[in-house]
Amino acid sequence: MAASTTGKQVGRVKPSRIVDLQQHRDERGCISIAESRWTAGFPIRRVYFLHEVTDGASRGGHAHRELEQLFIAAHGGFTLRLDDGFHQAEHRLDTPGTALYVGPMVWRDLSDFSPDGVCLVLASHHYDEADYYREYEEFLRDSRRQT
């Protein structure tokens, strides 16, 4: 199944977008490829993954000032809800051949993980707490100020 999308394009600094990963398939299986320059569009400096997410739990619940990310459903599926302070969108990722690019100044919530869901994230920067918006109201104030 391909990624399903509802809502408008989100991200006023760099709009979110679905990215089809390069894939090579033969009788042995399939390999999906994500590269910094060609796929992500940013240097990949950090890789992490979310797994064994408790039923009904959500992850994310924050935005970034500068960080760019590529989200991939490495196994199973999950839903990303995006909000740039003006527009919202919802994306269901459930195939490892499709990724979702999310740029800076976009609030993200991840939820509805399948029991076997694994969310692989490629990030443009190393972890930096100063890059995070943890409070939605502060994020809204700053995102709407950038008009």
**Tens-digit pLDDT profile for residues 114-142:** 999 999 999 999 999 999 999 999 999 99
Q: Copy the structure tokens of residue 97.
A: 């051949």
Q: Give catalytic residues, as residue numbers.
A: 62
Q: Please, which pLDDT band fits residue 101 given cuts at 50, 70 and 90?
A: very high
Contact between 15 and 96 under an 8 Å Cβ cutoff? The reply is no
Domain that holds residue 41: 4-145
Q: Is the model's pLDDT at 65 over the cut of 70?
A: yes
Amino acid at position 27, single letter: E
- What phi and psi values does residue 145 have, to the nearest 5 degrees? -75, -25
- Domain harbouring 12, CATH code: 2.60.120.10
Contact between 95 and 1 under an 8 Å Cβ cutoff? The reply is yes
Q: Quick one: pLDDT at residue 145? A: 85
Whole-prediction pTM:
0.90
Per the structure, the count of domains in the chain is 1
Q: What is the CA radius of gyration of the chain?
A: 15
Q: Please, which pLDDT band fits residue 8 given cuts at 50, 70 and 90?
A: low
| CA distance linking residue 50 with residue 15, whole number of Å | 23
Cα 61 from chain centre: 12
Contact between 123 and 131 under an 8 Å Cβ cutoff? The reply is no
Helix (H) or strand (E) holding 136: helix 136-145
**Tens-digit pLDDT profile for residues 67-94:** 999 999 999 999 999 999 999 999 999 9
Tell me whether strands 29-33 and 22-26 are parallel, antiparallel or unpaired: antiparallel
The number of residues in the chain equals: 147
Q: Copy the structure tokens of residue 138.
A: 């502060």
Average pLDDT score over residue span 59-73? 96
